[in-house]
Amino acid sequence: MGAVNPLPITWRSFPLSEWLTVQVTDDQLTALNQSRGAGELNLRVNLRSLLLQAPEGFHALAEDQMNLSIVEPVWLGMLDRVGVETGFLIRVAGPFVGAVEDGAGDKDIPSLALALARLRRAREELRDGQYEQCVATCRRVLENVQRLSGPQPSWNSMKTKDRRALDENERWAMMFQSVLALTQPAHHDDEITVGFSYDRPKAEAVLAATAGLLNVFKSK
């Protein structure tokens, strides 16, 4: 961040507190956000104070260093308020998950509890920077949703129709199939998908779409 303008503080004979404020540009704020990765923001602040007109023999200069941490929810809330970044909370209601804690079950059964457990695991993988694995786990959530929702219009039957002629169920099914196809390369590489890459924005988009689709199709 570099140096900031000196902050004059009036000397008192009793303890007092002052806010140390720093003005940053939009580019600096964006850079700070990028520097934190996927977790909390860690800052190191170098402080230097100078007592003006200090008595003779008094050491007028004091220096200190502070380490500050801003947890991710608080930092994202601050970015939201200043309009740099907006977060959306998607609530997915379902049964309490006890038997399937980490969503790693191998049995692909029509279980809402299993779908929710895998969705939580995908969120944790996003948090830990495992973006490709996050997308792969979303694929397993969507596969479970297919079993929960029952038969959907097939891709072949929809792609031959004018998109304006698609009914509501077909439009939701097309969105579902599109997200499902987007997650497929995280599970299987072929000559077309071998060069696909996954970063945080892509993984976030897939995770948000998966959570939204789970909400829609579990109620069908």
Query: What's the CATH number of domain 112-217, 1.20.120.330, 3.40.1050.10, 1.10.620.20, 3.40.50.720?
Result: 1.20.120.330
What is residue 108's predicted lDDT score, i.e. its pLDDT? 62
Residue 103 amino acid letter: G
SS3 201: helix
Cite the beta strand spans of the chain per DSSP E.
Answer: 41-50, 61-70
Q: Return the number of other C-beta atoms located less than 10 Å from residue 61's C-beta.
A: 9
What is residue 101's predicted lDDT score, i.e. its pLDDT? 47
pLDDT in tens, the chain (220 residues): 555 566 677 767 778 787 777 777 777 787 888 888 767 889 888 888 887 777 888 888 888 998 989 988 888 778 777 766 656 667 787 765 554 544 445 556 778 888 999 999 998 888 788 899 999 999 999 999 888 887 888 878 888 888 888 889 889 989 999 999 999 887 666 677 777 888 888 999 999 999 999 989 886 6
CA–CA distance, 37 with 145 (Å, rounded to integer): 31
What is residue 211's predicted lDDT score, i.e. its pLDDT? 93
What is residue 61's predicted lDDT score, i.e. its pLDDT? 87
Contacts of 94 (CB under 8 A, 6+ apart): 112, 113, 115, 116, 218
What is residue 202's predicted lDDT score, i.e. its pLDDT? 92
- Residue from 47, 46, 59, 49 nearest 9 by CA: 49
Threshold 0.75, pTM exceeds: no
Sequence spans of domains, the chain: 1-86, 112-217
* Dihedral angle over CA of 112, 117, 123, 128, nearest 10: -160
- Residue from 137, 94, 138 nearest 113 by CA: 94
Phi and psi (nearest 5°) for 66?
A: -125, 140
Contacts of 38 (CB under 8 A, 6+ apart): 72, 126, 127, 128, 129, 200
